[in-house]
Amino acid sequence: MNHNGFSLTAAELAGPGRPSEDRLIRAPGAVIVLDGVSTVTDEEPRGGWYAEALGNRVASLLAAAPSSDLRQVLEQAIAWVVDAHRLVPGTSPAATIAIVRRHGERVDALVLADTPVIARTLAGDVDAVRDDRLARLIAGRPERTEYRSWLQAGRGFQDPEHRALLQKLRTHQLRHLNNGAPNGYWVAEAVPEAARHAVVRSWPAADLADILVMTDGASAAVEEYGLYATWDSLAQACLTDGPDRIVQAIRDAEVDDPDGCRWPRYKRSDDVTLAFLRFAPLARSAA
């Protein structure tokens, strides 16, 4: 599908037994991918609701002002959702977010938390736009080491102790969320200022071959499971096989490791969203 300056193919797959908390939202010349942050409890409202509300507001703002600074757009969108629904920091649902927007001869990207954007140029370079502050925060933490060792021992996601161990890790994370704490991290929640800390990038549209936009359920194909050796090979698979086959390969790998022994993770099967934006034919025809 041609989408105002690029062609778009995408695939989405919910984790079994529950609605997906991922959202893929299209706007004129833009794609917005969000991952509602899963909670350990079943409290409402859920991350998926927040992701949809925030993504729709971002799309509306971009439609009204297509050239706006992406950080400012996100900050305004978070503020609107917070005010409209009276959300309170620390108790609000949250979401990661990535935005890719073409405007004229430029393509801009924004990433907040672990929803990466991977750009490939016609020259063969790969530019990974990633926000890995949460990963750095928990790397080497005793709570994470304990959790991973517990899964690798074969205890499994259904063991009654699983939720308690996960909550210990999440408690540490929350102490460093959206408050400017040293080595902390930022996510879209009820603090509009978080948008100012998003990672941004911009490229000439004529230089781009394609862009991947994905939630962490899809980036696990490279970063966690090793189904694809590099970002370049994942993008090439999108081009030759299509996102649907990649998403299914991820799910098949999770099914083959039902207790997380091989690949320790937070849940048996995550929601997966993968968008593939193709620029190359348009760039060549315009040259």
| Global confidence as pTM | 0.93
Banded pLDDT at 44 (limits 50, 70, 90): low
Q: Is pLDDT above 90 for 116?
A: yes
Residue 220 lies in a domain: yes
Question: How many domains would you assign to the chain?
Answer: 1
Banded pLDDT at 90 (limits 50, 70, 90): confident
Distance between CA atoms of residues 287 and 134, nearest Å: 41
CB 214, CB 274: distance < 8 Å: yes
Q: Is pLDDT above 70 for 222?
A: yes
Q: What is the pLDDT of residue 104?
A: 92
Residue 146 lies in a domain: no
Residue 168 lies in a domain: no
Among 19-23, 39-43, 68-72, 271-275, the least confident range: 39-43
Question: 134 - beta bridge partners?
Answer: none
Residue 162 lies in a domain: no
Banded pLDDT at 281 (limits 50, 70, 90): low
Residue 153 lies in a domain: no
Residue 144 lies in a domain: no
Residue 211: give the domain boundaries. 7-132+186-281
Residue 171 lies in a domain: no
Positive/negative CA dihedral, 44, 50, 52, 57:
positive
Helix (H, G, I), strand (E, B) or coil at 108: strand
Residue 157 lies in a domain: no
Q: CATH number of the domain that 60 lies in?
A: 3.60.40.10
